[in-house]
Amino acid sequence: MAAGATAGMAEVRATAPGWFRRPTTYLLLCGAALWAWAAHALWASTETAPVSGPHLDAGRYFGDSFLDRSATYSHFLEIESLLGMVVLLVVLVLYARHGHRLMRESAAGRIGTGMLLGMLGFGVVWLASVPFGLVAVWWQRRYGVSHQGYVQWLIDSFVGLGGTFLFICLALLVTIGLAGVLRRWWWVVAAPVLVGIALLYTFASPYLITSTSPLRTPQLVADARALEREKGLSGTRLEVEEVHRFTTAPNAEAAGFGPSRTVVLWDTLLDGRFRRAEVRAVLGHELSHLAHNDPLKGVGWAALFLIPAWGLIALLTRGRGGMARPEAVPVALLVLVALQLVTTPVLNAVSRRQEAAADWSALAATHEPAAARSLQRRLAITSLSEPDPSPLSSFLFGTHPTALERIALTYTWEERNLGSSHVR
């Protein structure tokens, strides 16, 4: 039987397609299995929060007038965003088809010309987004969410893309340089290098935020340090970003890791509209992100995106000579942006999971569910965000659980940990 089995296996190998018999096929299959395992491990590493809570009536929390106003405001911005994506893809398709002709005017060499085409493509992307950005500013000004001037928005939009611009330049330098040496397998080496750059950017990102100053409110600093100890953290930088000149919307973020761990509060959170207990809930939420290492996990998700993306770029740019040739850069930009748009709903799901976990962890640290409820209601009202959007809207655009879901979560926590829950 052993001899017969050996002969059978030999026959299978002999009749299998040529690509199946190649060693590289087995390497790619092993790589795909490793990728799937890493994605599952990264997803499971996020602390879970209950996915269901009591059913709440949005009208009783926010009023029918606000629900109608917030829906009109949000739906316009969502439709405009979708139109912007379509226009962006059309522009990049045209650039991918015709952009390589611009290299005839370049005498910068192979790598220099590729970087030039990348920078021009970056400019094309920005120009395509400008009309939609200006319309969004007009809409936000109309509803009183923003009072930023159009010229100022243009300047800030362009300057704010500096970090992305630098990353693209470094990415093209690495990619074209490695492709010239490694040919078809450049992406196997380039992807880890780019992940390393992303890691460096994540570490440095808190220092790149402009218009910030240290948090100087003694009570809030004391609250943050107490929450730090609760979370097993120490030495977190507490910064306030000045944004009131442009927007009335409140926000906060957690950035960096290790020595660069930072919580940034927008000054619109500290203008008197929010009580101390509500700001303490924000601090607990952001410190939970740092305790969960969410900025580092973001790099992990970026790695899971970049590795197959770069492999697909290597495959789809062969018609232009591969990434060793500068004329392949416009095609690479199209593929990268298209993949980013396609994977956005998946990354949104990851973000919602992390945000819910941070909400749950903050409740465990503050033990103030009533403050968390009032915070979520006030955040929705001051930002004019739709408290209970459609599932499709949440799938496409939702980076956070809805306001109603976050309020429901406070009741679930209260019932499980305090033994009572008074749903109103």
**Angle at CA 368, nearest 5°, toward 367 and 369?**
110
Q: Which of 423, 329, 304, 387 has its CA nearest to residue 37? A: 304
User: Residue 398 burial (CB < 10 Å; 0-12/13-18/19+)?
Assistant: buried
Structure tokens at 150: 């159009």
Distance from C-alpha of 402 to C-alpha of 398, rounded to nearest angstrom? 8
With the CA atoms of 312, 345, 347 and 134 taken in that order, what torsion angle do they form, in degrees rounded to the nearest 10?
A: 100
Amino acid at 298: G
Residue 102's contacts (CB-CB under 8 Å, 6 or more residues apart) are 116, 117, 120
Q: Which of 183, 156, 171, 155 has its CA nearest to residue 314? A: 183
Distance from C-alpha of 291 to C-alpha of 325, rounded to nearest angstrom? 44
> What's the number of CA atoms in the CB half-sphere (13 Å) around residue 307?
17
Distance from C-alpha of 182 to C-alpha of 190, rounded to nearest angstrom? 10
Does the annotation mark 286 as catalytic?
yes
Distance from C-alpha of 263 to C-alpha of 131, rounded to nearest angstrom? 32
Which three-class secondary structure state does DSSP give residue 219?
Answer: helix
> In the chain, count of helices (H) and strands (E)?
15, 4
Q: Which of 286, 368, 405, 414 is catalytic?
A: 286
Distance from C-alpha of 277 to C-alpha of 413, rounded to nearest angstrom? 17
Q: Which of 193, 185, 191, 179 has its CA nearest to residue 323? A: 179
Question: Residues 190-204, buried b or exposed e (16+ Cβ, 10 A)?
Answer: bbebbbeebbebbbe
> What's the number of CA atoms in the CB half-sphere (13 Å) around residue 167?
17
Sheet holding 262-266, edge to edge: 212-214, 237-241, 262-266, 252-255
Show which residues are catalytic.
286
